[in-house]
Every structure is written in structure tokens, then in C-alpha cells.
Structure 1
């Protein structure tokens, strides 16, 4: 089974804090880490960890951060041969502030991510066409459109892109086979409040499968006019980074292997539950066996 992820390639610097410092105030961090990041990167590493032949199409700068990123993905068994190296620009960088008991805050410099172009997608047409699944994550609409001209793909547009390009994203929904959204993204994109109403409205544009992640309220999928809803697994959250991306990777693998929609959601919930219970990093990504065990413990057969 071969998956191709398309999207941003970033280096994440995570700062863990008890509180945000005030103006002209200095405090000690609980911890500071650096890792490869970006939704597509997280998806690709998660896919590799659950036994999938994993590729990524992205753009990096020819700098030390880019080298760090490449080495991180190679260690995670992701094929990086199709990454573009852009000269004269810096690799994308994200500063993530994790304050105890609060949602994370992110500050981003897109850098070389902006250099990925429709022509780069066309140059990689053969890889895209040959994959079992192609997953676009936080890509600009022109990149999504180029991919969807080649084949159907799954798409996780992300809130930042929805806020910036809502109308264009809406116009492309009918070409995407599956859409992954969190609850706030679904509300923003559709203009509805109830998650089921969000999914129904998006489905009217032609999207075959809408999957909405709702955190502690679980997840749902709207497929062929039917709503499938699964409860969340209670968990003490340590780090939410990449949870939605491993959710998508596991859901897509389960769908490819012929699991029911409900079981796909349960497996994806189990994967994201394990992920958020651990500090970030490749080693924190669960294996397929761990995911199946978690599903069995909480949901039963």
C-alpha cells in the first residue's frame, strides 16, 4: 500500500510553559524541543509507522533546517526523493507555545513552502497517479487544483487556508474524494453549526466522504447519505500536535483494508488518543498493533 502526502514541510520548535510571560518578563520553559512538522509531514510519518510505503511532496530551503527535516523524515522511513529544494529561501518554521491547560499557540514563517508550484505537481504526476491514496494537507488552492486535475485525493485544508481561501476551496470540494476537518473548520467552511449539518452541506457540493474530528466529542463520517458517529476515548492530553494527521492516515488505511466506516473511525480515534497521550516525536507515533489494541480495549470487537 502506497500513500503520498502533499503539503507543508516545516521545522517545529515547541516551547512548553506554565504561563505566557508578560511584557518585558522572562520565565523558564518547562521544555523546548525541535522536530520536523507540517500536516503533510505528520501524515507521512504516521503512515510509515503503521506499515505504509510513504512518500511526501513538499518544498524545503537549502539550509540547515532543511537538512534537519530531511534526516528526520528519512529516519521515520518516509521517502523524501520528491521534495523540492528551493534556493535562496529558508525552510518553513513554526514556533509552538504549549501552555499547561490551554490550547496551543502557533507562529509560522512559511518560507520555502510558498515555492511549491502547480508545475512541481505536474512533474510528479507519475508518483501521484500510482499511489493508493494521495492526501493533501494545508495546501494552497492552486496546488490542490493541480492534484485534483490528475486524480481524486483526500484533503485536509486546515483552518488557516479556509479563512484565507474559503470560496476557492468550496469550489473544489466536488473533486475531492474525502475531506477531513475538525469541528471549527467544518463550521467555518460550511456556515452551519451542527457537525452533521456541516457534513450534509459539504456533501451537496459533490464530496463523497466527509470526516469531522470533534476532539472529546468523538468523530463522525458522512458517507452515501448516512451519518456514522463514534465516541471519543477519554485521555489525559500531553501534546496534540499531529493528532489529526495520524487520524487521517489510520482512517485511510482502514478504508483501504475494507473496514466498516464505524471501525475506521474507531481505529482513527484510537490512534489519535495514543498520540495525544505522549510527547511529540516519531517515537510517540503508535504502531498498527498498538492502535488495534487500544480500539479493542475501549470499543470491543
Structure 2
């Protein structure tokens, strides 16, 4: 990643931020009828893919700013305080008339269900954001923020003209359609999906009969919310399809760097697949691990590391972040990553 000259920040993250209520040991099915069930643990933590990525980057030593939209409420105050306490500049984070988004994460073993009240998220835009503020700009949760998504291609184009680089983590598409990405991918340097998202994005880009572009699931492609999505790395045919998906995403413009859980990470560069294994981990909570991965990859690239070295740093950051509940509590510093 080539640095922009005289940038105030290393990284600007544009995207989502909200409180997460993380309940561990949640049942697979909820008992309605006003029944009360007990779970193993609970925590109120900072959530949102963009916010967790920003905190991870600041922990790794990057001068980091966050641009988002929260409400004038207790949840918004919690978000702004949590980001600031972790060394993230929030001067570009707006306070609007809509309530702050709220998320409940129900954790069952290695799987989780995520319930989000979007609040202010659909109203977040890139209007007025400076294009020359940072060496790199990262955007998150594309499908949860339609107003941001609409303006992102033009904003990324301005960012690149200013000499900076760009990255995108689309995160899940709650509608399962995965549409409208051609414009933004053309001006995205690095695409950072997880394995299930990579399969869905590649299928939607194929534009064939019965693909996700028509809103109809492709046989064998598991949406990120599917309980089987976390087991992609253990299925041989799925692994082959994932490799083809990574190659297809590379053909759409960006460098794809795909998170695949315990199986590590894979990318496509110089006409071939690049694989890096994940370090062993005994996870306490995997919430936000992918966002910590993003932070590690961007921090490594902005320090001038190679693709493979950056993938190793990213995989280590993702694994280490699972040592505690929530997305930010166990994020590693740069020295800790390199001690592995």
C-alpha cells in the first residue's frame, strides 16, 4: 500500500458502531411464552465491524480515526467513550436524530446468532468526509448502510486520487442478495470477506441462472447466517469452491483476502492461490475476530509487509482476539503478534 503524503492518520475507518450485548451459552432455539432462561455469561461491549476494526488498528499502533453515525442517547455515548478510550479519534463521528444501533449476540459454542436494530445505520453517509485525511480508508458493513453504500464508490475514487488506498469488508447481507458491488469493487484495493461471504459474493457476481443475483440461493452456497457456514473449512468440495470464489473475486478488481476460521486465510495474487494457516486457539468468544483480522492485515500492509506476512499477522490478530468476551478486550498489540 503506497502511503499518501502528509496524511494526518494512517487509517480512517468508515462504518458501523454500536453496543453489543453478548450472551454466551445461549440455547439453539429460544423459548417464547414469557419463559426466562439462564445462560452461561453476558457482557456489554463495543460492537460494529467498523468500530472493532478501528480499535484493533489503534491497538496495533496505527493513527486511527473513525467516521460513523450514532444517536444522542446513552448507547451513542457508550460507543464514543469506548472508541476514545482505545485511542481512536472520533471527531468525524456524527451524532444524529436517530437512535444508536443495538445488537444482541447469542453465542452457542463456535456458532452465534446476531440480532440488530439498525437505528442510525441506514442514515450514515460519506458526505463531507475528507478524502486526504488518511493513508488508507476502510469501509465496513456495506449492506447495513445503504446511504453509505450509495456514495462509497465516488468517495473511494476520490481517496485513491488523493494517493491513499482502500479496503472493504461487506459483512453479511441480511437480504441474501449481494447486489450493487460492481462500482465499489472497481475502486477497492483490498476485499476482506469471510469464507461464506466470499462464496456468496462470487456467486452473485457470476450473474448466472439461479444465482444470488436473482435473490435465489445457489445450491451448496451457505449464507453467513447458516449454522453450517462455520464448517466450510472441513468440507473438501466446499474448499474447492472457495478457492474458485477467491479467484473470481480477484478478477473483479480488488485483492481478496478471505478469512476461513481455523483453516486460516487465503488470497489470490500473481495468478495463484496464497494460503496461510491460523495459529492454534482455544476460543472463549469469536465475536469480532474477523474485524481484528482486518485490523491486523491493514496494519501489516501499512508497515510495508508482504502479502503473506500480512496474512500471518492478520490470522494471529483474529486468533488472539478470541481470548476474551467481546470484540476488543483481547485485541493484541504489535509486539505480542510478533512474539508468536
Q: Is residue 2:96 matched to residue 1:93?
A: no
Match of 1:170 in 2: 182
Deviates more, 1:137-146 or 1:54-63: 137-146
1:268 equivalent to 2:322? Answer no
Residue of 13, 16, 21 corresponding to 2:21: 13
Normalised to the residue count of structure 1, the TM-score between the two structures is 0.89
Moved more, 108-117 or 59-68: 108-117
Moved more, 133-142 or 25-34: 25-34
SS of residue in 1 equivalent to 2:186: helix
Q: How does 1:1-301 map to 2 (within 5 A)?
A: 2-17=10-25, 19-20=27-28, 21-24=30-33, 25-87=35-97, 89-99=98-108, 101-117=109-125, 121-125=126-130, 128-139=131-142, 140=146, 141-152=149-160, 153-160=166-173, 163-164=176-177, 166-191=178-203, 194-207=241-254, 209-280=255-326, 282-294=328-340
Alpha-carbon distance in 1 for matches of 2:25, 2:179:
37
Deviations 1:205-246 (A, max 9, x none): 222x11011111110121232321011222112111111111
Compute the TM-score of the two structures, normalised by the length of structure 2: 0.79
Give the 3 Å change call, closer, same or farther, for CA 61–138 of structure 1 in structure 2: same
Shift of 1:150: 1.6
Q: Is the contact made by 2:283 and 2:323 (CA closer than 8 Å) also made in structure 1?
A: yes
Per-residue deviation, 1:102: 4.4
RMSD: 1.8
Unaligned runs of 5+ in 1: 295-301
The question of whether the paired residues in 2 share the 8 Å contact of 1:255 and 1:261 is answered with: yes
The structure with the largest helix share of the pair is: 1
Q: What count of residue pairs does the alignment treat as equivalent?
A: 285
For 1:200 and 1:44, the matched residues in 2 are separated by 28
Q: 1:259 to 1:82 in 2, by over 3 A?
A: same
Q: Confirm or deny: 8 A CA contact 2:321 2:327 kept in the other structure.
A: no
**8 Å Cα contact 1:162-1:189 kept in structure 2:** no
Distance 1:289 1:215 in 2: 23
Of structures 1 and 2, the one scoring higher in RCO (CA 8 A, sep 6+) is: 2
Give the superposition deviation at 1:155: 0.4
SS of the residue aligned with 1:283?
coil
